[in-house]
């Protein structure tokens, strides 16, 4: 090893160690704290390093911790959570109302579009793309702006009132993708956790926002109400397969839109740091 590489290696170890301590401040929203059950031996000299780093003022800022929390959610690393970590309320609001959220949505749509164009759509009309609705085709940001962007616990009644207004705006990058996959010959299946009672208002809202000519809009029947979204949506995808459809693409803002069984050939996870649906 050269001296240069050696110095860098030490630096890497030092920075990694410091962050291990500094990031202790991060709290997921739902964490069972039973750390006292474990001796947790300190195998490496973390305290010394952390103290040294702290002297240099190198503490992990809340914004970095919250970015890590958000990333962990998008990579499906988080346990189910009911509301944002409190310290991340400001961070999430800034993210959603700034340019980053829109950029994140757009990059996912572009990847989906590039894939859709290379996927070979057969002549038999059996290739399908599944779209979730909320936070995938339609945005509920105006609602969440009035409810702490996910800091408040989810309130079914309040949210239903918002849904019934039928005024959720389209996510433009999703609308563009939707039209692209339709033009490419995919069947488009909209699969939503909204209940069947919201069929009419959902159709109106979608049409008003430029979504037209979908092949199926599947809402949650009373019998599906107690199922997790993962199971409910997997069962519906399975029915599509049983009807002879090949699900080549699936877009959703929740991992429960994408995982389970009868999964799509390729799935696209849209960002959503506001809520978690199991």
- Rule CB under 8 A: choose which of 80, 86, 97, 208 binds a second copy: 97
Q: Closest by alpha carbon to 266, among 252, 253, 247? A: 247
Could you say which of 74, 87, 152, 196 contacts a second copy (CB under 8 A)?
74
Task: Provide the mask over 9-48, with x wherever binding to a second copy is found by CB under 8 A and - wherever it is not.
Answer: x--xx-xxxxxx-xxx-x-x--xx-xx-xxxxx-xx-x--
Binding span for a second copy by CB under 8 A among 141-149, 152-160, 188-196, 223-231: 141-149
| Residue 269 C-beta: closest distance to a second copy, Å | 4
Task: Select 180 or 196, whichever has its Cβ closest to a second copy.
Answer: 180
Query: Residues 6 or more apart from 42 whose CB is under 8 A from it?
Result: none
Q: Are 119 and 250 in contact (CB under 8 A)?
A: no
Q: What is the CA angle 112-116-118, rounded to 5?
A: 120
According to the binding rule CB under 8 A, does residue 76 interact with a second copy? yes
Q: What is the DSSP letter of 99?
A: H
**Near a second copy in 42-71, by CB under 8 A:** 43-44, 46, 58, 60-61, 64-65, 67-69, 71
Q: If you ran DSSP here, which 8-state letter would residue 219 be given?
A: E
Give the nearer residue to a second copy in terms of CB position, either 176 or 238: 176
111 binds a second copy (CB under 8 A): yes
- To the nearest whole angstrom, how small is the minimum distance from the Cβ of residue 241 to a second copy? 18
Query: What is the closest distance, in whole angstroms, from the C-beta atom of residue 128 to a second copy in the complex?
Result: 19
Q: Which residue has the tokens 């090949």?
A: 246
Instruction: Please pick, from the candidates 52, 119, 141, 201, the single residue that binds a second copy as defined by CB under 8 A.
Output: 141
Query: Which is nearer to a second copy, 99 or 223 (by Cβ)?
Result: 99
- The yes or no reply on residue 193 touching a second copy (CB under 8 A) is no
* Distance from C-alpha of 23 to C-alpha of 43, rounded to nearest angstrom: 18
Is 169 a binder of a second copy (CB under 8 A)? yes
Q: How far is the CB of 130 from a second copy (least distance, A)?
A: 15
Closest CA to 177 of 235, 100, 252, 227: 252
Smaller CB separation from a second copy, 170 or 218:
170
Least Å from the CB of residue 71 to a second copy: 6
**DSSP secondary structure letter of residue 213:** -
- Residue 33 C-beta: closest distance to a second copy, Å: 8
- Dist. CA 52–CA 253, nearest whole Å: 41
- Gap between the Cα atoms of 89 and 19, Å rounded: 22
Map tokens 């039973």 to a residue: 34
b (16+ CB within 10 A) / e for 101-126 = beebbbebbeebbeebeebebeeeeb
108 near a second copy, rule: CB under 8 A: yes
What token pair was written down for 11?
A: 């630096």
Q: Of the two residues 160 and 196, which places its CB atom closer to a second copy in the complex? A: 160
């Amino acid at each position: 090893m050269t001296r240069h590489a050696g110095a860098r290696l030490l630096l890497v170890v030092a920075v990694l160690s410091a962050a291990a301590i500094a990031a202790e401040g991060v709290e997921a929203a739902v964490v069972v704290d039973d750390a006292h059950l474990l001796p947790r031996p300190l195998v490496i000299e973390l305290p010394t390093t952390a103290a040294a780093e702290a002297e240099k003022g190198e503490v992990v800022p809340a914004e970095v911790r919250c970015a890590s929390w958000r990333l962990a959610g998008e990579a499906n690393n988080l346990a189910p959570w009911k509301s944002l970590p409190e310290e991340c309320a400001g961070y999430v609001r800034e993210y959603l109302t700034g340019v980053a959220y829109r950029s994140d949505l757009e990059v996912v749509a572009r990847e989906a579009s590039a894939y859709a164009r290379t996927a070979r759509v057969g002549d038999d009309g059996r290739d399908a793309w599944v779209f979730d609705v909320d936070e995938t085709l339609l945005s509920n940001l105006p609602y969440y702006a009035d409810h702490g962007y996910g800091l408040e616990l989810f309130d079914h009644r309040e949210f239903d009132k918002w849904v019934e207004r039928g005024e959720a705006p389209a996510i433009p990058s999703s609308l563009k993708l939707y039209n692209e996959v339709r033009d490419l010959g995919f069947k488009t299946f909209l699969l939503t956790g909204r209940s069947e009672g919201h069929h009419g208002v959902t159709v109106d809202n979608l049409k008003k926002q430029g979504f037209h000519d979908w092949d199926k809009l599947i809402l949650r029947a009373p019998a599906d109400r107690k199922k997790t979204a993962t199971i409910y949506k997997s069962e519906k995808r399975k029915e599509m397969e049983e009807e002879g459809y090949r699900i080549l693409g699936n877009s959703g803002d929740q991992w429960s839109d994408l995982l389970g069984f009868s999964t799509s050939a390729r799935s696209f996870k849209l960002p959503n740091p506001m809520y978690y649906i199991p």
